Amino acid sequence: MALKFPIFMDAQSTTPCDPRVVEAMLPYFTEKFGHPASRNHPFGWEAEAAVDVARGRLAKLIGARDPKELVFTSGGTEAINLALKGVAEMYREKGNHIVTTVIEQRAGIDVCKRLERQGFEVTYVPVQPDGLIDVDEIRKAITDKTILISVMFANNEIGTIQDMAAIGKLAKEKGIIFHTDATQALGKTPIDVEAMGIDLLSCTAHLVYGPKGVGALYVRRKGPRVRLAPLFDGGGHERGMRSGTLPVPLCVGFGRAAEIAQESMAAENARITKMRDRLQDMILSSVDEAFLNGRPDRRLAGNLNISFAYVEGESVLMGLNKETALSSGSACTSSTLEPSYVIAALGASAELAHSSIRFSLHRFNTDEEVEYVGQRTIEVIKRLRDMSPLYELAKEGVDLKTIKWKAE
């Protein structure tokens, strides 16, 4: 099969809508345009029924007992904001302490920073070099004021999947609410909120071949019943937790995406893992001093994150970006101009954070694309190393740590 350019291997930033998802959504833009809160005519009933089907499919995918436990939001960021701020405000009387981790995505970190400014105390549990959070570190961080534990399910950069069941068990034992950011995990790895003791779960449609602009928050109703202060006031939709007219076509698309994910997860993960492993083997067998980030056996199927010593990430992407879409932990590719705090938190040097490249594969990638991207990556790394003063020094046997660098 002929390759079609550019090749997309940045599926942890977003995914294309599955055509089956688009097909399911289309009628809800035009003839089935009703408002799901219109209780007194067929347009409203039709819309409400469609949203409930979507809610049910989503509930099934995460093992929720009751579809009513799912609240639609505008996406993962809003779900995380609603979970953390909603708990903080609702349970403030009970305590002011939150336990989270240093590897949460920006939304998680930034909400916690804001809560700190408002008088909450937040403990950011460190990560181990393999990308896993030590559950004992969470246990040690808990105080009698702790009202919430928030740990991401799977990491957006290194794909590491945390031990949800162990954290959930700890939370139950201590009577603390447990939130997880499952934006990267949904539809990619089995989720069971009951077995894993998850009380709140944030997710988004666009990372699972659904549309952009819709996400959801799972809010446990029983054992314990979790209550949340809403982010904004209005018509009291979504059980009073999220006012605003539901974007019915997007909800329908999210539901269809969840359904497809559930049906195809096992076979799809097997296929994607095989491609990912091939890409990994190709690169690591021909490039020296290339380091795999994150624990290999506890990773999302499509994730491959490698630090290439002595070359800077943006320059690697620049060598590939006409034909291949990847991402990097380099400062030059981030809006904050800081290198990846996730790679840095693994204990790697800042240089290796600047040098990290994330390949994230998806449903529509092919074996031919993997071969091409692997070969081109190897070529670009070799070319850049030939013009790297650090590689030259290292080859001369100079220990780069012994040089007194004059930072700007």
Partner 1 sequence: MAYSDKVVDHYNNPRNVGSFGKDTPGVGTGLVGAPECGDVMKLQIKVNLETGVIEDAKFKTFGCGSAIASSSLATEWLKGKTVDEAAKIKNTDIVNELKLPPVKIHCSVLAEDAIKAALADYKEKNASAATPVASK
Binding of partner 1 at residue 325 (CB under 8 A)?
no
Which among 36-44, 91-99, 295-303, 346-354 is the span making contact with partner 1, rule CB under 8 A?
A: 346-354
Residue from 39, 117, 225, 406 in contact with partner 1 (CB under 8 A): 406
* Shortest Cβ 264–partner 1 spacing (Å): 35
Binding of partner 1 at residue 287 (CB under 8 A)?
no
Residue from 252, 312, 320, 343 in contact with partner 1 (CB under 8 A): 312
C-alpha–C-alpha distance, residues 301 and 321, integer Å: 23
Binding of partner 1 at residue 289 (CB under 8 A)?
no
- Chain-centroid distance, C-alpha 384: 30
* Shortest Cβ 360–partner 1 spacing (Å): 20
DSSP-assigned letter for residue 75? S
For residues 270 and 387, which CB has a smaller minimum distance to partner 1 in the complex? 387
Instruction: Kindly list the catalytic residues.
Output: 332
**Between vectors from CA 338 to CA 334 and to CA 339, what angle results, nearest 5°?**
85
C-alpha–C-alpha distance, residues 383 and 387, integer Å: 7
Binding of partner 1 at residue 389 (CB under 8 A)?
yes
Residue from 49, 195, 266, 387 in contact with partner 1 (CB under 8 A): 387
Per CB under 8 A, contacts with partner 1 among 238-267 are: none
**Between vectors from CA 400 to CA 398 and to CA 403, what angle results, nearest 5°?**
95
Which among 36-44, 205-213, 216-224, 330-338 is the span making contact with partner 1, rule CB under 8 A?
A: 330-338
What sign results for the dihedral spanned by CA atoms 342, 348, 349, 351? negative
* Shortest Cβ 355–partner 1 spacing (Å): 9
For residues 2 and 337, which CB has a smaller minimum distance to partner 1 in the complex? 337
Beta strands (DSSP E) in 38-150 are 70-73, 97-101, 121-125, 146-150
| 349-381 as b/e: b if 16+ CB within 10 A | eeebbbbbbbbbbbbebeeebbebbbeebbebb
Binding of partner 1 at residue 394 (CB under 8 A)?
no
Binding of partner 1 at residue 371 (CB under 8 A)?
no
Backbone phi, psi, residue 374, to 5°: -60, -50
Residue 191, classed as helix, strand or coil, is: coil
Taking the CA of residue 190 as centre, how many other CA atoms within 13 Å lie in the half-sphere pointing to its CB? 7
Interface residue list for partner 1 (CB under 8 A):
310-312, 314-315, 318-319, 330-332, 337, 339, 349-351, 354, 386-392, 400, 403, 405-408
